[in-house]
Structure 1
């Protein structure tokens, strides 16, 4: 039983480490980000709690303000943000017992047991798209995905971590934040 408890603690620790948002960004290499100074919201995120939606908008606004951009009614860039969630499952199998002494060692086959648990969890993805308002062409995309925590405090921290990581090297060609 102690082995099972230790294995469960180790698995929980690994899952906690894996919950850091995975972030990817892409941009149009021909886009002239130096000429962009203003933005407008084309579509704000939907599909999650209104409080989380507002935190996403506030987080993106803060990142863009920090880069010198301002929000305007007819901005140089139009933003669209979307949130999606999906359920995933993982199978965790833990082995215990005397199976290590079997298969020919000391003439016998050891008996052990295996316990498999199914863990269902939600994965959330935030997608932020930017379009040149004049040409209507996509110029930048950022995505952040991660396991959705169970507490509101952890959700807020995860959302903020994803936004921070997404905009760390924004605009394209700038040095990453340290």
Structure 2
């Protein structure tokens, strides 16, 4: 009976993990009367990047993200502008290297021998993997009033392959802009 119960919970956990979204999205309007239909043109603030971000290819991913955002805004009727846009887009991008750990336990990890028939066991954190976690914040700013009108964030674990990162960017931007009030 215990075996069936354990198997059931493992299957349930697998289904839950496999169906969970790759990208988590949070949004909130900063202005109560904000609607995207009130704007006709848009442009991006300059993105400043330094250090490792430039050398490890993130600049290419930023350009891809800008392109995806531009497509989403153009689908909603806005056009890109170089001079005096109605809406400015500010991007904030953070990528962190995370370490996945587990705690040792007496059942699966044997005690360590320290000499003279002495064994000791201490609980400790053991590294089992590393991954990159990315967060993108998008701020929409009314250019005429210089006021934040909407903000949203998308976060998720970044895949290792560049092509998969671009798929995740497209998915995240689409999810994020589906929450923008028309």
Q: Is TM-score (shorter-chain normalized) higher than 0.5?
A: yes
Considering Cα pairs closer than 8 Å and 6+ residues apart, tell me whether 1 or 2 has the greater RCO: 2
CA distance in 1, matches of 2:160, 2:21: 12
The match for 1:63 is 72
CA distance in 2, matches of 1:117, 1:17: 26
Q: Equivalent residue of 1:154, what SS?
A: helix
Please say if 1:129 is aligned against 2:139: yes
The match for 2:22 is 20
Q: Which moved more, 1:56-65 or 1:31-40?
A: 31-40
Q: How many residues align?
A: 148
Whether the 8 Å CA contact 2:27–2:179 is kept in 1: the answer is no
CA distance in 1, matches of 2:48, 2:73: 16
Query: How large is the Cα RMSD of the aligned pairs?
Result: 3.0
Gap regions ≥5 residues in structure 1: 1-10, 96-110
Q: CA deviation at 1:164?
A: 0.8
The match for 1:143 is 153
CA distance in 2, matches of 1:114, 1:154: 36
The structure 2 residue matched to 1:30, chosen from 11, 33, 41, is: 33
Whether the 8 Å CA contact 2:93–2:135 is kept in 1: the answer is yes
Q: Equivalent residue of 1:31, what SS?
A: coil
CA distance in 2, matches of 1:55, 1:43: 14
Check 1:93–1:131 CA distance in 2 against 1; reply closer, same or farther (3 A cut): same
The match for 1:98 is none
The match for 1:107 is none
Whether the 8 Å CA contact 1:123–1:145 is kept in 2: the answer is yes
Check 1:126–1:16 CA distance in 2 against 1; reply closer, same or farther (3 A cut): farther
In the TM superposition, what are the counterparts of 1:15-164 in structure 2 within 5 Å? 20-27=22-29, 28-44=31-47, 46=49, 47=53, 49-73=58-82, 74-92=84-102, 112-114=107-109, 117-164=127-174
Whether the 8 Å CA contact 1:93–1:114 is kept in 2: the answer is no
The match for 1:99 is none
Q: TM-score, normalised by structure 2?
A: 0.69
Q: CA deviation at 1:42?
A: 1.6
Q: TM-score, normalised by structure 1?
A: 0.70
